[in-house]
Structure 1
Amino acid sequence: MTLPRTAGRRLLLVHAHPDDETLTTGGAIARYTADPDTSVTVVTCTLGEEGEVIPPELRELAPDRADQLGGYRVHELAGALAALGGPDHRYLGGAAHWRDSGMVLAGHGDVWAATPAELHPRALAAPEAFDEQLARLLEIVDEVRPQVVVSYAHDGGYGHPDHVRAHRLVAAAVQARPDVVARLFHAVVGRTTLDKGLAEIVGLPGLPFRAPGEDELPSVPDAEVTTRLDVTAHRAARIEAMRAHATQISVWDSGHGPVALAMSNEVAQPLLDVEEYVLAHGAGPAPADDLFSGLDR
């Protein structure tokens, strides 16, 4: 896709794997892609080759079997981005240049992750790969020239080594281009928002997923959240995008309003009509409901 050079606002979102863009920032992608004065670029760092596979009929794609999951997820990502409005998209370094590092569970039920003891030679989280990865990301920043960049907090949201690497790369890129990037946001979920969403789905008749344990789903204290985007208008697009990532996400519609989703661990998560962000870098005051509010063109 060719970027509209006349766009006054430019947004760059950097994600570790296919599906992360939809799960954490799908509403923002849909909202700003629909704005003719905003260009949106999504960067995906790996093909998500080490992901687990939910549908039984597709489990031969898994890394311990045919190891074809990454190629399949290229197709899933294309469908998800189309559902979200068709933003500009890049793979960091090109498709499959770096591989999903995988993860091991690190407590807190089946949600929190840590780095495996052994990494694939092309793993995104490989220490020696950082400088090349940063150079590739800076090439994109120099071309797109985004005023606003979005990625993860320092822990990657839930500890996955590729999310942590994406955070470090984005932080370094923003620091290296202070004349380009005006704001850096971390995508988060506030504790109260998560609790309210869970209260709407837990206990619903027919819910096929288990309720999460205390603190099993990642969230941040409400006071840390600086910006909340109302993405209610893009609910249908987000659901379609999640369904496109069928190997990774199960979506359940109650038929009465609330929608739940789960990863392969079958832990219920609510589909929230607000996306929350922390202004991690940039001049204040932090915008309340628009990532670009108050910025000069």
Structure 2
Amino acid sequence: MTGHGDRRLLLLHAHPDDETLMTGGTIARYLDEGVDVRVLTFTLGEQGEVIGDEWAQLVADGGADQLGGFRIMELTRALAELSPPDQEPLRPRFLGGAGRWRDSGMDGAPSASHPRALVQAPFEELVATLVAEIESFAPQVVVTYDNVGTYGHPDHKLVHETTMAALTHLKGSVHPERLKVYESVTERSALDTGLAAAAGRVPEGWTMPGPGQLPSYPDDEITTEIDVAAQYPRKVAALAAHATQVTVAPSGTEYALSNNVLQPIGEREHFILTGPWDGRPVRDGRETDLFDGVG
């Protein structure tokens, strides 16, 4: 392990499982390198659907409404899987504390009207709470979603909006190092390659995605590619830890959510650099390290 204890990486996610789906390998890699990594989740994912029968009655609508607490456990297990085996496991952290804000559900769902739904929170309160987190942690690198929230989930979009507002508020006052801001995205060619490889091993009951069903970005818009091949087995184990939300294929190379649409598990994770916020030019060419250029 290479020690980089002076480097701090903050990843912002909406619900438990997003951290592994989008950035699991990146989390594991930088933990391996000794980076101080913090995963900050905005809700407990109370409105998630549940795969299988064992925990089906935990759901919010027509059930026990205990899914959020169960997903804290799944997140705890997933972060432990992503952590190096010889280190103290990374622990979950929630914006405002666990249960402060609730999963809003998909766009137009009745759950968005819940008084504790994330989309009902006063925006200024969300921003102030995130500002306090950033001030206390002083990361050099922040990872969030793109402005459409990856696939349009209202909570994902709000995480992006809150991140940008908080960083604008803090611009020039967080710490003297160069602050870099990334959006976690999917590279189109990597997605296409993964789907082509999976075409002959689709598990029973699963379907291949239709054209454009899975969001992705053209290759020339990707600024940063992180090789997580060495951390791949831990990423797969972390996906499996989110068992109410994710099914990992027997091959260990694909997964599906509750819709049973196949998605490949990549050995590289992709990002678009939207900072730095000090106005310095970004180095030419595709980066291979989120901390590239950090002094």
Q: TM-score, normalised by structure 2?
A: 0.90
Counterpart residue number, 2:81: 83
4+ residue runs over 6 A deviation: none
Which secondary structure does the structure 1 equivalent of 2:158 belong to?
helix
Contact in 2 for aligned 1:183/1:279 (Cα 8 Å) = yes
Which secondary structure does the structure 2 equivalent of 1:135 belong to?
helix
Give 1:120's aligned amino acid.
H
Counterpart residue number, 1:247: 244
State the 1:253 CA deviation: 2.7
Trace 1:87-126 onto structure 2 (pairs within 5 A).
Answer: 87=90, 89-103=92-106, 114-116=107-109, 118-126=112-120
Contact in 2 for aligned 1:261/1:271 (Cα 8 Å) = yes
Aligned length: 276
Counterpart residue number, 2:65: 67
Distance in 2 of aligned mates of 1:285 and 1:295: 11
Is 1:152 matched with 2:178?
Answer: no
Change (3 A) 1:20 1:205: closer
Distance in 1 of aligned mates of 2:181 and 2:104: 25
Trace 1:4-83 onto structure 2 (pairs within 5 A).
Answer: 7-36=5-34, 38-64=35-61, 65-83=63-81
Give 1:279's aligned amino acid.
L
Is 1:291 matched with 2:257?
Answer: no
Contact in 2 for aligned 1:207/1:252 (Cα 8 Å) = no
Counterpart residue number, 2:263: 269
Question: What are the ranges of 5 or more consecutive residues in structure 2 without an aligned counterpart?
Answer: 84-88
Distance in 2 of aligned mates of 1:242 and 1:174: 30
State the 1:83 CA deviation: 0.6
Give 1:143's aligned amino acid.
S
Change (3 A) 1:135 1:162: same
Which secondary structure does the structure 2 equivalent of 1:149 belong to?
strand
- Counterpart of 1:224 (choices 221, 226, 229) is 221
Which secondary structure does the structure 2 equivalent of 1:215 belong to?
coil
After superposition, the CA RMSD in angstroms is 1.6
Contact in 2 for aligned 1:39/1:87 (Cα 8 Å) = no
Contact in 2 for aligned 1:231/1:275 (Cα 8 Å) = yes
Change (3 A) 1:196 1:71: same
Contact in 2 for aligned 1:62/1:68 (Cα 8 Å) = yes
Which secondary structure does the structure 2 equivalent of 1:125 belong to?
helix
Contact in 1 for aligned 2:255/2:262 (Cα 8 Å) = yes
Contact in 1 for aligned 2:245/2:258 (Cα 8 Å) = yes
State the 1:89 CA deviation: 3.5
Counterpart residue number, 2:163: 170
Which secondary structure does the structure 2 equivalent of 1:99 belong to?
coil
Contact in 2 for aligned 1:100/1:123 (Cα 8 Å) = yes
- Counterpart of 1:279 (choices 267, 273, 276) is 273
- What percent of counterpart residues are identical? 46
State the 1:281 CA deviation: 1.4
State the 1:178 CA deviation: 2.2
Question: What are the ranges of 5 or more consecutive residues in structure 1 without an aligned counterpart?
Answer: 1-5, 104-113
Counterpart residue number, 2:86: none
Q: TM-score, normalised by structure 1?
A: 0.89
Contact in 1 for aligned 2:203/2:249 (Cα 8 Å) = no
Deviations 1:143-181 (A, max 9, x none): 110010001000010000000000011111221222336
State the 1:134 CA deviation: 1.0
